Structure formats: C-alpha cells, structure tokens
Structure 1
C-alpha cells in the first residue's frame, strides 16, 4: 500500500467474491455478506481503523480496501475453487445447502457433510496477492 497521502492508494492484495450467475438478488447479497464476514477475524490486517463522524460518534471499522464482486457459471465457480485450493489462498465457501439452514452450527455441518470436489458452490470469497486472486477468478466477469 502506498504511504504518500496524496498518491492514489494501490493495494498489493485483493478481496474478491465470486457468485454463481443464477442466484436471485437477495441470495447474492446474503452470500456476499456471509462470505466476507470471516475475513477480518482470520486476517485482521484487512480491517482499517474505527470511523468517527464530526460529532464524535464512533462507528465500527471496515475493510481497508474494496471488495470486488464477480459472477460466473457453476463451472467457472468450480474451477476458481480448485485454483484457490491449489494456491492455498484464504477462502470462504457458500453452498446451496446453506440456504436451507438457519444457524452457524447447521451451516458448518452442511459443508462438512460433502467432499470438496462435490460441493454445490454458489459463492466463493478469496483473499491474497492481487495477481494470484486474478488468476483464480480468470473467466469470471464483474458483477453488473
């Protein structure tokens, strides 16, 4: 990241989410929120400082960099998952089974019940060096 206050900020890492293209709008929003929610816990460097308005009201900190959202076919998502695993990049998955669960325990059990090559993925979040994430998401397109 650039330290000059007047220069544009350019990050050497990327946070990106890939959604299956056939999801409904509410599903896209839900999946994206769930996928990025764990990133700050495992990688605290992605979270910036707390916010404060002119009146001194405090707000929670947020990611220090944008989250890019992509979409692609089931095949693109499956390929991206395999590439993320091969590159050992930090990742989060959301499977179609999670739409039928209502809590974290059942979510984790649903993922645990299926082997990595048989997961019915509807979303994938990846964090890592910018060029590595770009290679993982090759074939995906920016979410409209």
Structure 2
C-alpha cells in the first residue's frame, strides 16, 4: 500500500478505447459506463472516501489513472479480440445502447448480436500493464 509520501506504483492499468467519430457527449457517456464496469468487477480499484478540512465527506474514487484513447471501428474490434485472447474481460458499449432505455434493454441489445458483429463504440479493460498495452496497441490518446 502506498503511503502519503510515496508516489503510487500500479502493476495494472485501466484503459478506455473510444471510436474516434463519437460526439463529445457520447464519448463522455460511453467512458462513464465502461469505467463503471471495470470498477464493479474490481472493488480493490476504489480508494477511501474523501473528506475536506470542514469534515464534509465525499465519495471515494478510482485509485489509479484511467487512460482514455481513440481509434477506428476496426481497432475496437481488434482490441476486443486481443483482450479475449489474453483472458482480459472487456466492458463493451455498442452503438445500439444509445437507443435503449435502460440496463435490461442494454444487455439484451448486446446479447442479440454475435461478438464479431458488435458495432463497438467503446471498450474498457483492466489488467496487467503489458496485457492492456497489447490490447490497445495502435490507439492514440483521446483529444
């Protein structure tokens, strides 16, 4: 565990890969949903609650940085394949999810399409640094 005087060292990495043609509101929305999936399966990624000098409490946040990257639709499909080949389970967001009204419908929309045919607009992964780097290879930092 890091102390207050140490710089944090992470053996893992969180990366979000977004399709490069998303509108700004879509990119933010997709990033939020995808990171929630990563955190839901990795509770150790969440730090302690915050508190200001007045004693007002605030919610905890993720303990490590989240890289947000951009790439083509083809790169998203390649990243999905790479993640699965490395036993890194991705969170996915498809174009269909922009048109669904809720969680149950979101899962049904993904389930209705074969993995290779998903219209991916975003993907997030958490895992060992080297594995995540290989999954998102070819992506660039999101503008």
Q: TM-score, normalised by structure 2?
A: 0.95
Provide the secondary structure at the position in 1 that maps to 2:9. coil
Structure 1 equivalent of residue 61 of structure 2 = 62
Structure 2 equivalent of residue 45 of structure 1 = 44
Structure 2 equivalent of residue 9 of structure 1 = 8
Provide the secondary structure at the position in 1 that maps to 2:17. strand
Alpha-carbon distance in structure 1 between the residues aligned to 2:38 and 2:137 = 22
Check the 8 A contact 2:38/2:125 in 1, yes or no: no
1:124-139 correspondence runs (5 A): 124-139=123-138
Alpha-carbon distance in structure 2 between the residues aligned to 1:118 and 1:104 = 21
Check the 8 A contact 2:34/2:91 in 1, yes or no: yes
Q: Report deviation, 1:128.
A: 0.3
Alpha-carbon distance in structure 2 between the residues aligned to 1:53 and 1:124 = 34
1:82-97 correspondence runs (5 A): 82-97=81-96
Alpha-carbon distance in structure 2 between the residues aligned to 1:51 and 1:120 = 38
1:26-37 correspondence runs (5 A): 26-37=25-36
1:101-140: per-residue Cα shift (whole Å, max 9, x none)?
1100110000000011110000000000011100000000
1:63-93: per-residue Cα shift (whole Å, max 9, x none)?
0001110000011111001001111113200
Alpha-carbon distance in structure 1 between the residues aligned to 2:142 and 2:40 = 26
Structure 2 equivalent of residue 123 of structure 1 = 122
Alpha-carbon distance in structure 2 between the residues aligned to 1:40 and 1:75 = 26
Gaps of 5+ in 1: none
Alpha-carbon distance in structure 1 between the residues aligned to 2:73 and 2:125 = 17
CA RMSD of aligned residues (A): 1.2
Structure 2 equivalent of residue 19 of structure 1 = 18
Alpha-carbon distance in structure 1 between the residues aligned to 2:3 and 2:98 = 44
Q: Report deviation, 1:10.
A: 2.1
Alpha-carbon distance in structure 2 between the residues aligned to 1:4 and 1:131 = 25
